[in-house]
Amino acid sequence: MSENNNKKIMWYTLAFMAFSTVWGFGNVINGFSEYNGLQAIVAWLIIFAIYFVPYALMVGELGSAFKEHGGGVSSWINETIGPKIAYYAGWTYWIVHMPYISQKPQGVMIATSWAIFQDKRISDMNPVLMQGICLAIFLIGLYIASKGLNPLKKLATLAGSSMFIMSILFILLMIAAPAITNAPLNSIDWSVKTFMPTFDVKFFTSLSILVFAVGGCEKISPYVNQMKDPAKGFSKGMITLAIMVAVCAILGTISLGMMFDSNNIPNDLMTNGAYYAFQRLGEYYHVGNLFVVIYALTNLVGQVSTLIISIDAPLRMLLDSADKRFIPEAMFKQNKHGAYVNGQKLVMVIVSILIIVPAFGIGNVDDLVKWLVKLNAVCMPLRYLWVFVAYIALKKAGDKFGREYFFVKNKIVGIIFGVWCFAFTAFACIGGMYSEDKFQLILNIITPFVLILLGLIMPYLAKRERAK
């Protein structure tokens, strides 16, 4: 065994690394809320089989083909199609983080409220007041981000792994609860009709929530070539990942089904569901609010660090690798800490609008939280579209790019898979815009369009600047 081989990543290590980046307890809550409780299980299984597995394996082939390029969708597009389209991919990847950033201060407030009061009083707050405080939290986060933030990455990793341990712990303790405690649990009717979803409009317009939940595995593409045996190991790791995520989704949903009646799902489940779950768990095990406080504090640290990192990291990814022909010079201005000053100002303007405007049209906190989750589910997956564009282009290029790992060897089959995943993602994003509330519907349509349009203006501004 060579020294080098010992340092290679094993397939199971890769599965664990990917698992913590892809999956979170919030996904289980959102699925349970949108898919009538236990019916979410079938929806999850469908999405894993027809979407998540091919998506993860395509990412592996892309990562293997472009091992010299630090990963990242825009570098794949740059190699396969060209710099201008790569700029649009980079822009999309960055700009869809705006609704995501605007959601984090809400998470901070909900977590703080539960850590202090251990009840759902946050739901009764005036939405305008809530969003006002959210704006203040965001501006503080922006200020910290402008100071450079190396210690935060460690904090985020720590919070991420603690949240991950908490969600696994929740599932284990809930599954064990009937045997260990005499807790009054919901009895689940194990007949087919309990689990069979109705394939109606709501089923299809909520798909974006599931796509949003399972996306993001392109983050692990740089590790493909550090694997012991990429050709076999990567697909093994990704299929293991899919199984782990599926098991967590199924057991997590069943655990929630033991607490909440699938026929009467609380309206505030997206706001307070995770906290209710840990609070009830504490009651079952006679430890009071211990679990809910630990969960609220870890979530608080996680939300704060994610807020600050999301202001900085995606912007850095866009500008560090951007072709200066497409972005005005002013965007590249950095302060002494290396933060992109004008880029962060643009973030400030966009996110402030996203925080303030909804408060005047959405009447209560629970609806506001729900709306933001759905808006994220419409915007975030737009960046996955570029993964499939890159994969289709890679397959069209044939053997031009050497790679150790192939998802499928056949060119036509590969293109069909790429087109399928692209179409499915686009369908989910467009369907996710649908809302019975007119104000929310308008916001859901305008937001992604305006964000993408801004990206079309930048090259024009840059061109004018050069002409001067």
Q: How high is the pLDDT of residue 5?
A: 52
Per-domain boundaries in the chain: 11-467
Tell me the residue type at 272.
N
pLDDT at 381: 96
Model confidence at 66: pLDDT above 80: yes
> How many angstroms separate the Cα of 40 from the Cα of each of 31, 50, 133, 275, 377?
6, 16, 34, 20, 16
Q: What is the pLDDT of residues 239-275, one digit of tens each?
A: 999 999 999 999 999 999 999 999 899 999 999 999 9
Q: Rounded to 5 degrees, what angle do the CA atoms 280, 284, 287 make?
A: 90
pLDDT classification of 7: cutoffs 50, 70, 90: low
Q: What is the mean pLDDT of residues 196-218?
A: 93
Taking only the tens place, the pLDDT of each residue in 106-165 is 999 999 999 999 999 999 999 999 999 999 999 999 999 998 766 677 777 788 788 888
Stretch 205-229: mean pLDDT: 87
Task: Kindly tell me if the per-residue pLDDT of 23 is higher than 80.
Answer: yes
- What mean pLDDT is predicted for residues 79-87? 94
Residue 457: Cβ within 10 Å count: 10
Average pLDDT over residues 388-399: 96
Confidence (pLDDT) at 1: 39
pLDDT at 454 over 90: yes
Sign of CA dihedral 105, 111, 115, 121: positive
Residue 451 pLDDT > 90, yes or no? yes
CATH number of 11-467: 1.20.1740.10
pLDDT tens digits, residue range 346-355?
A: 999 999 999 9
Long-range contacts of 119-124 (CB under 8 A, 24+ apart): 120/268, 120/271, 120/272, 120/275, 120/276, 122/271, 122/272, 122/365, 123/268, 123/271, 123/272, 123/364, 123/365, 123/366, 124/365
